[in-house]
Structures are given as structure tokens and as C-alpha cells.
Structure 1
Amino acid sequence: MPPIPKKYLIALAAVAALLLGWFAFAAWADYARDGAEKIATYSDLVAAAERGDIASVTFRGDGAHAVTPDGQRLRAVVPVTDDLLKELRGRKIAIAFEEDAGGLVSGTVSVLEKLAPFLVIGLLIGALLLSGGQFLGGSRATRVRPSDTGTVFADVAGVDEAKDELRETVEFLRDPRRFAMAGARVPKGILLVGPPGTGKTMLAKAAAGEAGVPFFTVSGSDFVEMFVGLGAARVRSVFKTARAAAPCLLFIDEVDALAGKRGESNSHSEREQTLNQLLVEMDGIVNGGVNGGEVVVIAATNRAEMLDPAVTRPGRFDRHIHVALPDVAGREAILDVHAGRLRLAPDVCVRTVARGTPGFSGAELANLTNEAALSAARNGRVIVGMADFEAAKDRVLMGNERRSLALSSHERRLTAYHEAGHALVSIRCPEADPIHKATIIPRGRALGMVVRLPEGDRVSVSRAKLLADIAVAMAGRAAEDLVFGPDAVTTGAEADFRAATDLARRMVTAWGMSDAIGYVAHAGNDPAVVRSERTAWRIDEEVRRITDEGMERARRILATDRVALERITAALLERETLSGDEIGALAAEERETEAA
């Protein structure tokens, strides 16, 4: 919540002072009216009446207010009874009844009780006003001054192509006159598209830091409101704030929350109205004049397919920059940036770490570096070694060790056979990725696992590779069945079956790798695509055929190399964790024995 403006604090203090002053005055007035009265009991009042010391009695509220002949006033809390009235009348005492109007204090409290619901509603409205800025539709954009950005292109590694695309925008913000004189116009909007953690937000900050202009950041979800019209008002306010600070950069993170396709099932009138206002505001941005006043909108998303076509067309988000996962050179550059803050041992090879982390994003590499530093600190060291990076990679890939989980000897043996099955089939399938490590130490939610890492970055995947991956996934259950029998298999293969089924279904429905279905795309949830029951049945049959063939392939390999399976299992039971090289040596040793 933003800080409360000073003028509101002054107003609240003035109201509080007025209320306190009024209560002080009311208390004084009540005392002036009733403070001179002497408190008396019921017996005192009756005795005074019998003595003739009472001139008049006024009953008001729950008390009797008496006046003596000499003007002294008495007050007694007494019930109004017939006997008392008869006694007073018999003494020729004047009797009066008045409605208790209460004092100023009680009257004020009564009024406040009646106004309490309205005061509560007013406070809630005030909180809403302050939470959204000066108005409900106020800007939620956070302004970062150029000196506070603290990020330049040199701080962003592994995305050289994206940096080159943004440099032109930076040059325009630095010297708009040069581009305007050539008749060029900077893109109104730049859309950064890529998986999570690839550095899209950091790129936008670096662009602002390089250009030396103010940087406004806001999330797409900040515009989505439950009250109709507030989202559109907030869009207007954000762009008004940005124009007032031009030249500047406006960064909208997770723009798909704001600019999703209209007409979808999750769309509604408020969301569409907010999107329409965004389109209008971007149409109102006029960049390219010689006098400055430029506002460049940079948006980021990892779901570009969810965006409305009106947003991504030229004239709004003119330029689309794909921020991909870094390759091995990019990962090495990212690791150099993060490892530069650590004290590294001589045995640390950043390139080796980069080669062993294919598919890692920049954020995951930063986390890996931090985990390595934590590993060194846990062991009482300030210098980070290669063993710390290996431990960090295992922690990221496989989860935390759960050594406190006690497994029975049978469960431990069954887990070892399960993981040995995965490992052996992976080695015997040349298309499968090499094994990084196998373990029967429980990590995360798994009792054991085999981690495989590709040798390099892969752009596409072959059909042979996919079939090998399915066979490897089925190998754990195949090993359980081979060694313990069909009635002793366990639920440990659930995740394996899910992964194999997903690959097989995508082969059939998305990648055209089934002769029975053909080269037809059936994947996705597009409501315009209607499948017949026969087609759906054939797809299920093809998925079943592919997974069954993968299971048979795994069974053949394990039955043929039963001795290698036993050797790997025994090593896992003895050492609990084996590297890929150790598993490969155990499998090769069996082959060499057979050849001899």
C-alpha cells in the first residue's frame, strides 16, 4: 500500500482534534448541569420529605432530582413506586416527570452509534482510495529513477541477440533527433517472449539503465479488477504518468493477464474493456518527433499464443524479441556473472558446469550458483569448490535428500532394481540421453531416481529418441516385474507411466509420428477442432500401442542383460549413488565378460 498523503494525515488529525474538543466541552457541560447535585439514597430522600426539606421532585430517567426550599439539589436513584408518589403528594411536594434527553456526552455517543455503519463504510472507501492511489483507478506503476536502476547490458548475459535488438531502442531514447531527421520511427511497443527465468525483466531494466531514462514497471494483473471500469481507469492513469515523465520506458510484466484473447471462455466485459483501453492508449503514443516526449512500452510474457491479435499487430507491439533458454556459451557467460561474486577453488571449471546444465534458464543458473555457495557454507568453508557445484546440481535436479526416511530392506532392494532398470535400458538405447547420476537415496517425493542429461543443446527431437525415452520410462516397472513377479509390482512407476503416455500422445496427435493417424494435428484444446469418437478411439489405441512396444523393448533388454542388471543393483545397494560413468563401466564390464 502506498504511503498516505500528507494532506490526508492533516485532515484526519483535524477531525480527531475536533472530536476530542467536543467531548471535553460536553463533559464540562454535563458536569455544570449535574455536578452540583448531592447524591442521596432512597432513605435520605424519604427522610427529607418527611422533615419538609423537599420543595419539588423531578423524575428523569432512572433518578429522582429533588430541590430543597433553600435551593440545594439532591439526586437519588430510586424506583418510581405508588408508595413513593403517595408519600410525596401527602407532603404537598411538587412532582414532575421529564424525558431523559441525556447529557451532551451520552447524546454524542448515541449519535455516533447511529452513524457507526456509515463511518465504517467511509473508512473502507478511504482504504480503497488510498490503496489505488489518489483514486480507485490510480496508477500502480512503480517508478525507478535512472540512477536507481543499477542494471546495464553488461549485467545481462546469455541473451546477446535480445540485447542487440534492444540497443536500437536505447539509441533512440538517447538521441531521438537523429532518427527523426532520417524519417525513422521507434517501435511503440516491444514484446519480450520466452520461458520463465530467461531474463526478460532484467533486459527491460538494462535498457532503461543504458538509456538513462525513467523506468516504470507494472504487472499485467494490476490492471485486472472486479469493479467495472477500474481496470480501464488504471490503464489511463499509468500511461498519463508515463507521458508526464517522457522520455521513459514502461514495462508491463506478464502482459497476458491483461491482453488475453477476447471472446475466450475466461474473458469478461471488465477484462475486455481494460484491453480496449490499452489499445487506445498505445494508439495515442506518437514517437519519432524531434522534440522528444517518447514513451516506449516493453511487455513480457511466456504465453505469447494467449495474446489478442490486436495487441501484437504492427503499430502496437511492433517488435517481438524471443528470449530463449541460453546455449552452452550463454550459460557459461551467465555463470561467470554470478560466480564472479564467489571465492572459487582452483578446481572449478565454469564451462564444465555450463556443459552439464542444458535446459537451465538464467534464473535456475543463479539459483544453482547460490546453492553451491550454501553448500560450502554448510560445510564451514568460504571457498566454493567443484564438489559444491555438483551437490547443488543434484539438489536442483533431484531435490533434497531425505536420509531420515527409513526404508525396509525389501523396499530398498525393490527401489534399487527399479532404478537399475532405468539405468541399464538407458545405456542400451543409443538414442537416449546419457546418465548423469542414479541414486536410491529418497529425494523430494521420490524414493530414488535416475537423472539423464543431454550431451549438448537440442533444437529438435527425433522419433527414435522419443521411442527410446518411452522404453527408459517403462524400464522401472519392467525390472520389478522381471525380478519380483507381476503380483509384487508397486506404485512407484506412476510418474514413469505419466511421462511415457504424454510423449506417446504427443507423437500421435501433434508430431505426426503415427502411420495409423497420419500427418494430422489433433493436439490442443481449440473448440473449433471436432474429433469423431472413432478418431479419438484410434488415437487412444495408437498411444497404447506405442507404450506397449516401449514396455516390450525394456523387458527384452533387461532379460538379455540380467547379469548387468544384478551388477548395477548390487552397486546401488552398496554405495546408494552411482555416477553415469560408474554405471557405464558396470554395464560394459558384463559385455566384456561375455565377449571373452
Structure 2
Amino acid sequence: MNEDQPQGNPWIKNLLVYGGIFLALLLVVSMFSARNDASGSMIRYSEFRTHVAQGDVRDVQIGPDKISGTFKNDQQFQTVPIQGDTELPKLLQDKGVQYSGKAQDEPNVLLYILANSLPFLLILGMVFFALRQMQKGGGTGAMGFGKSKAKLLTERAGRVTFDDVAGIDEAREELEEIVEFLRDPSRFSKLGGQIPKGALLVGSPGTGKTLLARAIAGEAGVPFFTISGSDFVEMFVGVGASRVRDMFEQAKKNAPCIVFIDEIDAVGRHRGHGLGNSNDEREQTLNQLLVEMDGFEANEGIIIIAATNRPDVLDPALLRPGRFDRQVVVPIPDIEGREKILGVHMKKVPLAPDVEPRVIARGTPGFSGADLANLVNEAALLAARRNKRLVAMQEFEDAKDKVMMGAERRSMVMTEEEKKMTAYHEAGHAIVSVNEPASDPIHKATIIPRGRALGMVMRLPERDSYSYHRDKMLANLSVSMGGRVAEEIIFGYDKVSSGASSDIQYATGLARNMVTRWGMSDKLGPLLYEDTQEGYLGMGMSQRTMMSDETNKLIDSEIRLLVDGAHARAVAILKDHEDKLHLLAKALLEYETLTGEEIRKLMEDGKIDRPDSPSGSSRPPMPQTITVPRAGRRFLGAGADTSAPRPLGA
């Protein structure tokens, strides 16, 4: 069904339906009342003869089954004659009554049939109306259960072109040939070339796969059908296959066109997996899709574009030449791509002169297109909340912190002792990070709870990274141990808190991957000992591929060795720089949040330059006692830290 076609006013439709029902009921009432309509009151035949004998009757009409007439006082009457009364005409003549004969009324056959069939017509009308109501919303009612749910989008629904797609230039170039074919098919067919029948867009969520497919349709100027893979599969066997057939029938009527199937892994998973047998509903739907794409009957001018973030679970028959010939990777954008994507979304908001998209792009590694759109939207909301007319760089920085670290929870009340432990925990992370050469630079450290984290040290890479090296992983392990080690050194063995739970979880996972998947253990060698496979009911499960007890014990010992080594390095660093640990913890208690540049300057000069410093321009080195926060400000800590250094390669 074309969504662009103007739909009738539902109020008018309902008015017509109820108006028709009312008129039908009115017709029934009028027909029955017509039957009982009499031109006068009924009287007995004996009374009729008495009135005639008394001279009260003026005229009568005698019919085969009814006598009607008028009294001299103009009152009308009716009566039923008695068969065989031959004296009535003589009596009428003697009394001077005018009389005449009346032919028998011919019944109206049409009205008779309508009167008898009207109740059944009313019942059928109500049933039809109920079925129409059930069919609304995608044609999935009782009469359209096997119809396709594909929606046809045209230019009136919002045309998207390649100008609206930024940051994925390589993927766009891969698909430009499809656009050229749809614009001018003869250019390729005269040389014997055949355009690929399908293209599979593979990428992480939010990278712009759906937007890219719509841009292809917008550039080519052809109809664009869109449907989700889950729309095919129902609990009734055969419905999905019927919908696939109907979808291709619609596409043939609008060829050349593009059919976009989003999340195709919902219907295209590897056959033979799971609890169902080879004849279950999902596999029948997949079989029908395979036949329609490349079966005995060619679908000329129909190009299938599908999107998924799980290409590893797709059936091999989908990926062979003749079906999805091209697999186009839609990656997470690099810094150049992020800057272009920000430029597209920033056109929609009024910007202050100090906004620099390049700086924002540098500080958002790993962000997808959807993440960047959300960042711009959050910045606009913050500016509106602050009653600003323009969105400034400060709003983008605050929005970035909110997206990356979570919203601030300033309402949480913590004791001075908890704040102090939080400050030292986060300072421990920061000191180890500063003194690990392979660690990423610190972006920001805070003891303000954000999201589920009660404190955080955020690190950002200087440039986009596509692989991680052993020295960086070892540095990340040391930084993750820094918070717990700081608690041990300052507060003692018995006062260590649960704040390092997420740090321990992260360090264990990273060490396990180094040993079992990335071959970074000298004793175990470059072998794959653990793999993530599609398990029960399609759920991803991590399982070890070598199951001997000795190997498992060696794996566990190597993981423990890596984590213990990181703990020892963190202890050595923090003991060598214990004075800086105290200095940074006191600064966090005083300022709540410090930028990476402020931390670097504090480590070098022992002071922080801030306009709000009591001395005006710079703060002298802090004393060795804990400074009580200034009155009127709330300072919060992080008792249960979830600030494992990010981004990491685990």
C-alpha cells in the first residue's frame, strides 16, 4: 500500500456507514408501517350492513378481499366482505349509496424481496465492516494475512540523496553503479553486463545503512519498498512465504525499483540451526526468498538491498553470486567522516561562532552517525534549557560528556569519607594513566556520579585506532588496577571498597581475550582457545575450543599472571608518585571535575589555572590536609566506580 496516497477522512467514512445503517432501518420501519397503513378504521361486516341500512354510508369500493368506504360524516372505514353475500349491491342501491368495484392490489415483488432479505444484508454489512476494520494497519487482517507488509516510499515521503549521507564515502562509491544502472539500464545491457541483483550492507548499528539505501533510491528516482525481516515470519507456516511472493509481485508492477530488507538476519539465519526442523516457518520463508531472488523466473529491474549487523549468522545461499553479489561494509566513520556527519546535522541548529566541528570530531572516536546526531540534538536541548539563542561549544562539550559518561547525578548525598575515597580512587586511575607511555591521554576526570558510574576517568585516543598492540593492552590493564591500588595504599588493606568491581571485570575480560583469542601468551602460543559462536536459539555464547583440564588450568594461570602483573605495575607507579596522588585527589575534591590539560599542568606545576580560583589566576600548591569544599557547592563521589578506561580493545 502506498503511504503517499491521500487517505479518506475517517470521520466521513464512519458517518457514511452509520448513515447507511440508519436509512436501512428507516426503510424497514416504513415498509412495515405501509403494510399496516389503512385509510380508515376497521369495522365488522355486520356493523357495515347496519350503517348502510340506516343510511349513514355515502360511498363504498368493493374489492375481492376488502371493502372500504366513507360515512356521510366524512369518516373512512374498512371491513372484510363475506363471500356469497349477493344482496349487498341491492341494499346499497336501495339506500342510495354510490358503490364501485376495486381490483386486487398487485404485490411489489422488489419491495417484498428487499423486505425479506434486508436482515441478512444488514448482518453481512456488519461482518464486512468488522473485517475492514481488522485489515487496517498493514493488510494483516483476516482477508489479507498473507499480503506483504512492504511500504512503498516515493519522493513525496521525503527524498534523501547522497548529499544527506556523509562519512561513508567508500560504501557510497560501491553502490553508485547500482544508481547508474537504475538511471540508464541500456548502458550496461548493450555490453552484455548484468547489474548485481542484491547488495548486503554490513555495519554496526547506527552507521547509516538504512539512510544509505534510501539515498540510493532518491538518487535513482525509482520506487523504494522497505520492510523488516521480522515482518515476514509469523507463527503460521506458509504465511511468510506468501508475503515474500506478494512483495515481489508488487515490486514487479513498479519495476525498476529497490526493495530494502532491514535486519535480514531475522529471516535469513543459517538453516538447520535451532529447535525447528527444515520445514518450519522461518526456513520456508527463507527458501521462498532465495527462489524469488534467483530462481527459474528472472526478476528484471528489481534490486534487493539488505542490511544486517550479524553477517556471520546468514545462510550461505543468501551470499552466493546471483543473490547478494556485493557485501558493502558501512564502517564507523573516521575523524574526517565524523566532521562531515556533524556538518550535516549542524545545519539544522543555530550555531555560535565558537563551535568547531573538527574539535568535536576529534573528541568523539568510535561514534557512529546516529551517535553524532544524538550529540547535536543533546547540545540543542541543553542550549534551550539554558535559554540561549545559539548552540555554543560549551553545550557540545557538555552534551559529549553526557553521551559518553552519562548524566550527572548531583542529588546523591555522600559522606566526606566516601568523597575522599572516591577522589583517591579516580586519582589512582589518572596517575597510572599519566605514567604509562602507551596509555591514551586523559580527557577528563570527575568525582560527580554520571549514569551508573559514581566517578570516572575518561581517556580519548589522539587519533583513530583500528587495532591494539600488546603494550597498549598492558597499559590498559595497569590503569584499570590503579583505582584499587590507590585505595590499598591510602586507606589500608581492610578499607578497600567495592568500587573497583567494574575495573576487575574489565581487566579479567581483557586478559582472557589476550590469552585465548589474540595469542599473546608465550606458554599457550598463537592458538584460538575460545570462540564466540551462535549457540542455543541463536544466542551468542563464548566457549573454549580446547577442553583438556591441563589447558584450562594453564589458561586460568596465564590470565591471573597478566592481571597480577598489571596490579604490581600500578603499585610501583603509585608508590613512586604518592605525592602527586595526594595532590590530584585534593584537586578533585576541590573542583569535582578536571580536564586532561589541567591534570597535566597540576602534575608539572603543582597548580591549576582557573578563573574561579580564590587567588584570581592560579591556585598555589595545596596543603597536605583535605580541603573542605567551599560552601554552597555540592561535591559528590564514586563509591562504586564503573570507570574502566575507555575506549579499549576488548
TM range (shorter): 0.7 to 0.9
CA distance in 2, matches of 1:135, 1:9: 22
> In the TM superposition, what whole-angstrom CA distance separates every residue of 1:476-497 from its partner, at most 9, and x where no partner exists?
1111122112222222212111
CA distance in 2, matches of 1:211, 1:484: 67
Is the counterpart of residue 273 in structure 1 residue 284 in structure 2?
yes
Match of 1:229 among 233, 238, 244: 238
CA distance in 1, matches of 2:259, 2:9: 24
Is the counterpart of residue 156 in structure 1 residue 172 in structure 2?
no
Match of 1:203 among 212, 227, 239: 212
Return closer, same or farther for 1:509/1:17 CA change in 2, 3 Å cut-off.
farther
Could you say which residue in structure 1 is the equivalent of 2:555? Answer: 539
* Conserved 8 A contact 1:191-1:299: yes
* Conserved 8 A contact 1:4-1:130: no
Q: CA deviation at 1:27?
A: 11
Q: CA deviation at 1:550?
A: 1.3
Return closer, same or farther for 1:186/1:27 CA change in 2, 3 Å cut-off.
same
* Conserved 8 A contact 1:191-1:317: yes
Secondary structure in 2 matching 1:524: strand
Match of 2:336 among 312, 325, 329: 329
* Conserved 8 A contact 1:286-1:294: no
Structure 1 residue runs without a partner (length 5+): 33-110
Return closer, same or farther for 1:25/1:510 CA change in 2, 3 Å cut-off.
farther
CA distance in 2, matches of 1:518, 1:147: 60
1:100-499 to 2 correspondences below 5 Å: 129-131=135-137, 133=139, 134-265=143-274, 269-284=280-295, 293-499=300-506
Could you tell me the percent identity over the aligned residues? 52
Q: CA deviation at 1:552?
A: 1.5
Count of aligned pairs between the two proteins = 508
Could you say which residue in structure 2 is the equivalent of 1:555? Answer: 571
> In the TM superposition, what whole-angstrom CA distance separates every residue of 1:366-392 from its partner, at most 9, and x where no partner exists?
111111112221111111111111111
Could you say which residue in structure 1 is the equivalent of 2:40? Answer: none
* Conserved 8 A contact 1:558-1:565: yes
* Conserved 8 A contact 1:162-1:322: yes
CA distance in 2, matches of 1:193, 1:436: 31
Q: CA deviation at 1:517?
A: 1.9
Q: CA deviation at 1:341?
A: 2.3
> In the TM superposition, what whole-angstrom CA distance separates every residue of 1:31-82 from its partner, at most 9, and x where no partner exists?
99xxxxxxxxxxxxxxxxxxxxxxxxxxxxxxxxxxxxxxxxxxxxxxxxxx
2:268 aligned partner, one-letter code? A
CA distance in 1, matches of 2:242, 2:9: 21
Secondary structure in 2 matching 1:525: strand
Could you say which residue in structure 2 is the equivalent of 1:64? Answer: none
Return closer, same or farther for 1:132/1:362 CA change in 2, 3 Å cut-off.
closer
> In the TM superposition, what whole-angstrom CA distance separates every residue of 1:165-192 from its partner, at most 9, and x where no partner exists?
1111000000001100011111100000
Q: CA deviation at 1:516?
A: 2.1
Could you say which residue in structure 2 is the equivalent of 1:81? Answer: none
Q: CA deviation at 1:358?
A: 0.9
1:544 aligned partner, one-letter code? R
CA distance in 1, matches of 2:602, 2:319: 55
Could you say which residue in structure 2 is the equivalent of 1:578? Answer: 594
Secondary structure in 2 matching 1:523: strand
CA distance in 2, matches of 1:505, 1:27: 88
CA distance in 1, matches of 2:556, 2:128: 60
Structure 2 residue runs without a partner (length 5+): 38-118, 536-542, 608-620, 622-650
* Larger-Rg structure: 2
CA distance in 2, matches of 1:452, 1:178: 52
* Conserved 8 A contact 1:283-1:315: yes
Q: CA deviation at 1:558?
A: 1.1
1:241 aligned partner, one-letter code? Q
* Conserved 8 A contact 1:440-1:577: yes
Q: CA deviation at 1:407?
A: 1.1
Could you say which residue in structure 2 is the equivalent of 1:86? Answer: none
Q: CA deviation at 1:525?
A: 3.1
2:506 aligned partner, one-letter code? A
Q: CA deviation at 1:420?
A: 0.6
2:497 aligned partner, one-letter code? T
CA distance in 2, matches of 1:267, 1:5: 45
* Conserved 8 A contact 1:186-1:287: no
CA distance in 1, matches of 2:14, 2:243: 24
Secondary structure in 1 matching 2:364: coil
* Conserved 8 A contact 1:198-1:361: yes
CA distance in 1, matches of 2:433, 2:559: 21
> In the TM superposition, what whole-angstrom CA distance separates every residue of 1:147-167 from its partner, at most 9, and x where no partner exists?
434210011000111111111
Q: Which has the higher helix share?
A: 1
Secondary structure in 1 matching 2:201: strand
2:176 aligned partner, one-letter code? R
CA distance in 1, matches of 2:431, 2:390: 37
Secondary structure in 1 matching 2:216: helix
1:151 aligned partner, one-letter code? V
* Conserved 8 A contact 1:287-1:294: no
TM-score, reference length from structure 2: 0.72
CA distance in 2, matches of 1:144, 1:467: 51
> In the TM superposition, what whole-angstrom CA distance separates every residue of 1:329-376 from its partner, at most 9, and x where no partner exists?
111111111112222222211111111111111111111111111222
CA distance in 2, matches of 1:448, 1:122: 63
CA distance in 2, matches of 1:151, 1:15: 45
Return closer, same or farther for 1:120/1:261 CA change in 2, 3 Å cut-off.
farther
CA distance in 2, matches of 1:26, 1:497: 87
* Conserved 8 A contact 2:313-2:534: no
Return closer, same or farther for 1:445/1:21 CA change in 2, 3 Å cut-off.
same
Is the counterpart of residue 587 in structure 1 residue 603 in structure 2?
yes
CA distance in 2, matches of 1:581, 1:481: 27
2:533 aligned partner, one-letter code? N
CA distance in 2, matches of 1:202, 1:392: 24
CA distance in 2, matches of 1:282, 1:11: 44
> In the TM superposition, what whole-angstrom CA distance separates every residue of 1:181-220 from its partner, at most 9, and x where no partner exists?
0111111000000111111111100000000000111111
RMSD: 3.4
* Conserved 8 A contact 1:188-1:285: no
CA distance in 1, matches of 2:486, 2:225: 57
TM-score, reference length from structure 1: 0.78
